[in-house]
Structure 1
Amino acid sequence: MFRPNMFFLLLLPPIIFESGYSLHKGNFFQNIGSITLFAVFGTAISAFVVGGGIFFLGQADVIYKLTMTDSFAFGSLISAVDPVATIAIFNALNVDPVLNMLVFGESILNDAVSIVLTNTAEGLNRGQVSDVNGWQAFLQALAYFLKMFFGSAALGTLTGLISALVSSLIL
């Protein structure tokens, strides 16, 4: 039986590794601010707009009613776009490398943001974020999001550094 965690543990790492390995690092790091801005804020805004729309349409009995956290989880899942066709057309038309890198870099990072936002919504459903109203719930969800986002980045960086150290000692 295929469990969802198997996707994150077995299938996703080679895909991310290949994307990072074939990445033109100069263009990426020259535009990291814009890429991060588009990926983090663009994906978060999209998740909130889609999730809020789903929630309010459910409250108006236009569609199936979902809780706010379920609506946000759906919005988070649907907000990660993968512009494979766009990047293929960009490569065929020899589009400006900066534009190509903005779209490609944003597509790499928005997947991570979407995963963290979805895990935050799951944390809300599991009670890892307390059932309080208003700003307290928002701040707890934001703290959970930041902990997951920066914790994952730190873990990935540490793993990469250890792997580089081990491979430099072996080779």
Structure 2
Amino acid sequence: MDESIGQVVLLLAVAMIVAIGARQIKLPYTVGLVVVGAALTLSHTDFGPHLTHDLIYDLILPPLLFEAALSIPWRELRRDGPPILALSTLGTAAAAAAVATGMTSLLGWPLASALVYGSLIAATDPVAIIAMFKDNKIHGRMRLLVEAESLMNDGAAAVLFAVTLGWALAGGGEQLGLETLGTLARIVLGGIGVGAACGAAAILLAGRASEHLVEAALTTIAAFSSFLLAEHLHVSGVLATVTAGLMMGNLGLLSAEDKSYLTRKGREFVVSFWEYAAFVANSVVFLLIGIDVAGAPFESYGPKLIAGAILIGLIGRALTVYPISSAFLRSRWAVTFPEQHVLWWGGLRGALGLALALSLPPTLPMRDEIMVATFAVVGFSIVIQGLTMPLLLRRLGFLEEANGGHH
């Protein structure tokens, strides 16, 4: 036990040194963490902990999802609901199908394995992008589109993964029919129901408390209990935590003070507390991603798999964003072409995709190839896409707007 606490403290210490250094040289913090993690592995320094499905699911995802959901105003979500919903549901299915088609036709993968991989790699993780938006003071619709689409998309991808994995393990027969639709509905509605129940219970209790520390503790219980309870009931933990976060944020932090269930001190403290929790979770996960990506056995599988997975992933994302966004161009929900470019290149892959890949049973055909392809795509998207994103934003004029028309 002492050893594992020591390892966590050491990881945090390294992450904080990287945070200070990254700020000095104006490098995105998350990119710096991945690069330093990779360097540690290549220098054969063993830090001990490695990414596991349980670590990401039980400790990392709940604070990240909850913190992001807390700050999304329901009013804005409703205003841009149609494109966000279309991108995160139809888009996730389209991305999974496009990637699966690419993996079967270009790399010769069996359909069942390709579908499982397609659904897990469809989960985008804009943590790096959102952190950069905050650094560059980008607010408004662009940030809402990226953040909300990704939150909903994570839920959709996790649900799709559960269904395709079940289908693949059952032998990949032709039984993708009504039974599958029933499973899909149960996972989605069950997740939302668990999240709403946990959020409502925490709100009722917090309304009776006047102590800011108790209020913050209740939000913590809601974030983790919604996720763990939903997973225990085999429904969507991602959707449960996002639902609880949206409820507690809109009825507490974002509502008028006289209508909020939180005290004034509680509101301020809860915002700071969750910023800190998400920051620590991010710091640990990105450092561990760097450590594990550098340790992945890429050389055993050759450049064809790695380059193919990265290229197919980018094409799959493009086939999602551009056609679906274009369908809204003549409506009041129009997503402009600059916004579409940011949604495409900003569709980074991260913790959720890795957690799903790490949960694959050894009996699944091509499991090792799926793991290596996932690590390759995650590493590429965080480092290359993460580093080039500020250039794209500047080129498209988003940074000038954020800085009041001058840079």
Q: Which TM-score applies when normalising by structure 2?
A: 0.35
Residue 141 of structure 1 and its aligned partner are, at CA, apart by: 2.5
CA distance in 1, matches of 2:109, 2:115: 13
Q: Among 57, 60, 65, which residue is 2:109 paired with?
A: 65
Contact 1:90 1:100 in 2 (8 A): no
Q: Which has the higher contact order (CA 8 A, sep 6+)?
A: 2
Name the counterpart of 2:209.
170
Name the counterpart of 1:10.
59
Q: Percent identity?
A: 26
1:137 aligns with 2:180: no
Range moving further from structure 2, 45-54 or 78-87: 78-87
1:81 partner letter: T
Range moving further from structure 2, 16-25 or 113-122: 16-25
1:48 partner letter: A
Name the counterpart of 2:193.
154
Cα RMSD (Å): 2.7
CA distance in 2, matches of 1:162, 1:144: 27
Q: Among 101, 109, 114, which residue is 1:52 paired with?
A: 101
> Residues 91 and 99 (structure 1 numbering): CA distance in 2 closer, same or farther, change over 3 Å?
farther
1:40 partner letter: T
CA distance in 1, matches of 2:145, 2:168: 34
List alignment gaps of at least 5 residues for structure 2.
Answer: 1-48, 211-407
Name the counterpart of 2:90.
41
Name the counterpart of 2:80.
31
Q: Among 157, 167, 175, which residue is 1:114 paired with?
A: 157
Q: Which deviations, in whole Å up to 9, do the C-alpha atoms of 1:124-150 show, x marking residues without a partner?
A: 1343xx8652xx424333332222112
Name the counterpart of 1:60.
none
CA distance in 2, matches of 1:33, 1:167: 33
Aligned residues: 160
2:58 partner letter: L
CA distance in 2, matches of 1:76, 1:120: 9
Q: Which TM-score applies when normalising by structure 1?
A: 0.78
Contact 2:123 2:154 in 1 (8 A): yes
CA distance in 2, matches of 1:76, 1:163: 33
> Residues 21 and 90 (structure 1 numbering): CA distance in 2 closer, same or farther, change over 3 Å?
closer
